Amino acid sequence: MNIEVRVHERVLQFKAQGRGAKGQNEYEFSLEFLLPVKSEVSHRSTQRQVNITLRKEQRGWWERLTLQDRKPLFVVPDFDRWLDESDAEMEIREKEEKKEEMKTARHEERGFISLKRGLLFAYNLVQFLGFSWIFVNMTVRLFIFGRDSVSDTFHTISDVMFFCQILAAVEVLNAAFGFVRTGVTPTLIQVVGRNFILFIIFGAVEEMQHQPVVFFVFYLWSAIEIFRYPFYMLGCFNTEWKTLTWLRYTIWIPLYPLGVLAEAVAVIQSIPIFDKTKLFSIPLPKAVGTSVSFSCVLYVYLGLMFLGLFINFRHLYKQRTKRFRTKKRKAN
């Protein structure tokens, strides 16, 4: 069936060729509405009928359908869709209320997104400033004091490092509650691993605080973070700096394994000290008459460190591959 439907101001014109009540024939009619309707018209044909959908130019109740008082004989009301004046007003009111509810929900959602974005930006800014201070301070002290600055790293840097690493626990919560799109496990491994080294190996063992390994651990940690956090800061506003993006997804390749290696050296150096001082030893029942040295825990931790290195390295590599693969597709 070939159907042609047109609307001009308030007049609907219909023309079709097909098999109807008079057999194979050409059918046409025009209908002048009481008030103007929109020019957009849609229709759907079935074996029994043609459904034409129109919209009023302005919402409101019509006293009748057509301009002429008498209804055309071929026009029959569809009582399944019939609305009287009160029903029509109620339907309009419900649509308006629904629209207002959706508008309010969108405003609330935008407010939540703005708050979340502001908090994430503030967090990343604080961490960037903290790790930048650590990196610059250590670099300047190295040039001024030379090797003497290496052995004094813990006492000059540890306060800020303690603050930054305690605050880093927020990253685990952000991942757990879905505020950022990243895995909880890799984030948890990094935060717990660093805090273990900082608080247990360095913070609790005074003999370790003057070791050169402290300098290398702190320097490698901060060297990674001074690129990571500004990248996240720009991401809060859907902004990107290509050089920073490349550094964020590349600088970790040499620095992250070196950082884990430095942490492993720190653990190995601390084992004889824990054996000697019996610090954190695990007491056994009096019948046994001895205790388990904390160094046993450290041997287990060494194995877990390299397992964590494998998990995080694979995670970071997948992120890098996905990021630059997406960029290549967009470029093509």
What are residue 32's DSSP bridge partners? Answer: 11
What are residue 16's DSSP bridge partners? Answer: 3, 27
The encoded tokens of residue 178 equal 């879905």
Q: Which long-range contacts (CB under 8 A, 24 or more apart) does 235-239 make?
A: 236/117, 236/120, 236/121, 236/124, 237/117, 237/121
Q: Return the ∠ at Cα 254 (arms to 249 and 258), rounded to 5°.
A: 130
81 membership: H or E segment, kind and range: none
DSSP 106-173: HHHHHHHHHHHHHHHHHHHHHHHHHHHHHHHHHHHHHHHHTHHHHHTHHHHHHHHHHHHHHHTHHHHH
What torsion do the CA atoms of 311, 312, 316, 321 make, to the nearest 10 degrees? Answer: -10
Catalytic machinery residues? 256, 263
What are residue 24's DSSP bridge partners? Answer: 19
**CB contact set of 212 (below 8 Å; sequence gap of 6+):** 150, 151
Q: Return the ∠ at Cα 19 (arms to 16 and 21), rounded to 5°.
A: 100
Please give the backbone phi and psi of residue 80, each rounded to the nearest 5 degrees, phi first: -65, -25
Rounded distance, CA 3 to CA 42, Å?
11
* One-letter amino acid for residue 151 of the chain: S
